[in-house]
Structure 1
Amino acid sequence: MSSWNQPLTIWQKVQEAWNSLIVMKTFLSVSVTAAFRGKNGAKQYNVHVLNAVTRKLCVTFTPRQLQLRDTPTEEAYRQFMASRGLQPQTVPLNHGAKGHWIGNKNAKNILVYYHGGGFFLFGRPQHYQLLAHMLDRLNEAGHDNLAIFFLTYTTTPHAVYPVQLRQSVEALRYILNETGRSPANIFLGGDSAGGNLSIAVLLHLTHPHPEIEPLKISQPLAGVIGCAPWVSYKLDGPSVQENAYKDGLSKEILDRWSDQYLSGKEGDPWSEPAKAPMDWWEEIQAKDILMTAGRDEILLSSIDEFVERFKKVVPNTVYVVAQDETHDSAVYAADVVGYDTQQTQAIVNWLGARL
């Protein structure tokens, strides 16, 4: 067992308890002041309180405390499958990654999915619940020919860039080479940092990362989804200030997570897709692209700017901005807003039109 995964010492537990009191104080305070939040806060009272507590928690607890409190991605998958009375279907991949099947793994079409969490947080139970909900919605509409291959990648600080991208490429390589799927029947998708990975894998297909084995495909992928994709670590757009008291993220949190991910390296087109020259996207290997964002998230400006330039080169891009939604709310605020958010609906409709 690594020192990171060792149980907390008595003193560290005391510190954790103190930190819990600090977060509880924020909860009690915001529970009162949220009634007077006005237009500066999230539209829904419960979302406003939840996001304020999330921001405080992420900067108060140490990274180690945060991870030790959380359920690892693979264990969350096992629990999710057990809750549905199903056996886990996990596949070991190269470079220490694992893939988890959701739905019928023999389905004609596959969505390779990369979870968000700043490359630091584990895939959450809500990720699996959301994706299963999307499959249910698609099945109800007569589209029962899609399965999801969910990647467990190594989170920071246990590995840093470009390990997570290498593992993401391997998930696609596995589906192509080991299951025999045609690229035309494969979608890539992800939320937040996972949206970053889905776009970076797409870039790797035509402009391989110098440290990652190239992956050539015979024809374009069916499509790529970036849900609130974290495409740039530069946080100087107006939404950072405008949505500072609405969103569950803050500049301090994102700066900490991007620093952990890059680990001293300079950002490049594969770590921050917004840095890729626009002509790199001209021979994009995907038929269609969907990007979504929440109007009330701090990443909105950077997503807006990226998509505006991207669409000039890739006109088969659909961009949906969800009114009154904060960052990745169908995952991180699911207990409050549920799974049927505007962005979820956009993804279900977009997939349904292509299955």
Structure 2
Amino acid sequence: MAANNTSETDELSAADTVAFFGLLPLFVIRLLAAFAVHKNPALHWRQRLALTFLQAQRTTFSNRHQRWLVRRVSTGEAITQHCRKNKIAHKTVLVKDSKPTPAAADLRIPPPILHFLTPPAASQDGNGTGPTLVYFHGGGFVNPLRGEAHMPFIMKCAASCRASQVVILEYALAPEHPYPTQLVQCVATVRHLLEKSCLLPSDLILAGDSAGGQLVGAVLAHLVHPSPYAPPLKVDGQFRAALLVSPFVRLAVGADFGTYQTNDGRDYLNRPQVDAFGDAWQGRGDEIWANLGGTEAAAEVWPKVFDDGPRGLVRKALITVGTAEIFLGCCRDFARDYAGAETVAGSQGTDWRALLEGKERVLAECDGEAHVQVALDSAVGYDKGAMGCAIMSWLALV
């Protein structure tokens, strides 16, 4: 099945290719220098290596080079390669009946592609009683899923919550497909699972990282305050849980934006990079489905989503953030002001299960860790990071 974003991969010209290889020695020098001087006692050396790798990559290569590096493998190809290598049962479904409203009709939104994976433990068990983990990947809305980082993490999440299946949305990428394309495709995904797969909301754990965490929030907002771009969707009951990993909950505004400044240089993301993602995505700052915590509608919408009673949409929610992230301040504000979350803080070696048990909505602050640190950890084969341990401990409890 053809992926709906493979055609957007930019090939390098001969001159770009020569420039890229010419910059490799400089990249290596910058990587080694940054790794040597990087001082963060909260991080393991492998975590520091992953972080400085991304920082050196950003400062060495042009935007065109970085785009080529990231987009060489599409989301669908990355999922297929991982499943083939690890002998994971995998099928794809094109959601042909997904239709945007007239407000988004001129955007030519392609039908979403869903990847259904059966975790190895579920294949061996065979009873199919576990939840369905629905995952929206990050990447600033412009980059595909990273197989070496996302896939091990997603499958560990599935094992921790004893999922019977994993559903990963392969959404179309910006700037070729700007906002609200991804929102429309996410709503169509949930509709398909509820109406065509005959699942209950209580069967679903909605999860995502960075831009994918934003999409989890956008779908929840749409359910209580429908966007004009996607048909309304009513659910009967509560979702089992929502997991937002380092979510992009607020569009950056103003020249002085808290931890965008204080954590500049500690994270691998920076303000210009986030602004570039936003310019490509074209999310509207006055719409809650794009700007989760930055609109007047937020005060009305989120109390309905996170209501403590049976009318709330989500039974349990976890938001994670590293204390070295530029998104730290935004995530704190959203968790406190809108999700009604209790903050717990921990580091490597923390007994996260003891901290999280019995809590319905939690913000887990992970000492010294960067944006979506758990994905970086997965890429270097490190499984003792604070963010990863917090997530796996929480999923085991939902």
Would you call these one fold, judging by a TM-score over 0.5?
Answer: yes
Deviations 1:117-173 (A, max 9, x none): 00011011121111112333x2xxxx6344221110001122110010110111111
Structure 1 residue 273 displacement after superposition: 0.6
Total equivalences in the alignment = 345
Q: Paired residue for 1:122, among 120, 144, 151? A: 144
Give the whole-Å Cα distance in 2 for the aligned partners of 1:120 and 1:98.
16
Alignment partner, residue 58 of structure 2:
55
Deviates more, 1:233-242 or 1:306-315: 306-315
Alignment partner, residue 298 of structure 1:
326
8 Å Cα contact 1:115-1:191 kept in structure 2: yes
Alignment partner, residue 104 of structure 2:
none
Taking a change above 3 Å as real, the CA distance of residues 129 and 20 of structure 1, as seen in their structure-2 partners, is same
Taking a change above 3 Å as real, the CA distance of residues 254 and 20 of structure 1, as seen in their structure-2 partners, is farther
Structure 1 residue 50 displacement after superposition: 1.3
Which amino acid in 2 is paired with 1:280? V
TM, length-normalised to structure 1: 0.87
Q: Does residue 110 in structure 1 map to residue 113 in structure 2? A: no
Secondary structure (helix, strand or coil) at the match of 2:380 reads: helix
Deviates more, 1:92-101 or 1:334-343: 334-343
Taking a change above 3 Å as real, the CA distance of residues 49 and 147 of structure 1, as seen in their structure-2 partners, is same
8 Å Cα contact 2:26-2:60 kept in structure 1: no
Structure 1 residue 296 displacement after superposition: 1.1
Mark the runs of 5 or more structure 2 residues left unpaired by the alignment: 99-109, 306-312, 343-358
Q: Paired residue for 2:259, among 210, 235, 239? A: 239
Alignment partner, residue 314 of structure 2:
286
Secondary structure (helix, strand or coil) at the match of 2:252 reads: coil
Secondary structure (helix, strand or coil) at the match of 1:157 reads: coil
Aligned counterparts, 1:166-315, within 5 A = 166-234=184-252, 236-262=256-282, 265-276=284-295, 277-284=298-305, 285-312=313-340
Secondary structure (helix, strand or coil) at the match of 1:320 reads: strand
Deviations 1:270-317 (A, max 9, x none): 012112422211221111211000111111111112212124499942
Which amino acid in 2 is paired with 1:287? R
Structure 1 residue 175 displacement after superposition: 1.0
Alignment partner, residue 317 of structure 1:
361
Deviates more, 1:45-54 or 1:145-154: 45-54
Alignment partner, residue 332 of structure 1:
376
Which amino acid in 1 is paired with 2:174? T
Q: Paired residue for 1:99, among 114, 120, 144? A: 114
Mark the runs of 5 or more structure 1 residues left unpaired by the alignment: none
8 Å Cα contact 2:178-2:282 kept in structure 1: yes
Which amino acid in 2 is paired with 1:14? A
Give the whole-Å Cα distance in 1 for the aligned partners of 2:379 and 2:341.
38
8 Å Cα contact 2:80-2:90 kept in structure 1: yes
Structure 1 residue 341 displacement after superposition: 2.6
8 Å Cα contact 2:303-2:339 kept in structure 1: no
Alignment partner, residue 17 of structure 1:
18
More helix by share: 1
Deviations 1:71-97 (A, max 9, x none): 100011110110112442111123421
8 Å Cα contact 1:16-1:61 kept in structure 2: no
Give the whole-Å Cα distance in 1 for the aligned partners of 2:396 and 2:42.
34
8 Å Cα contact 1:329-1:337 kept in structure 2: no
Which amino acid in 1 is paired with 2:114? G
Taking a change above 3 Å as real, the CA distance of residues 22 and 41 of structure 1, as seen in their structure-2 partners, is farther
8 Å Cα contact 2:224-2:304 kept in structure 1: yes
Which amino acid in 1 is paired with 2:385? T
Identity in percent: 23
Give the whole-Å Cα distance in 2 for the aligned partners of 1:347 and 1:129.
14
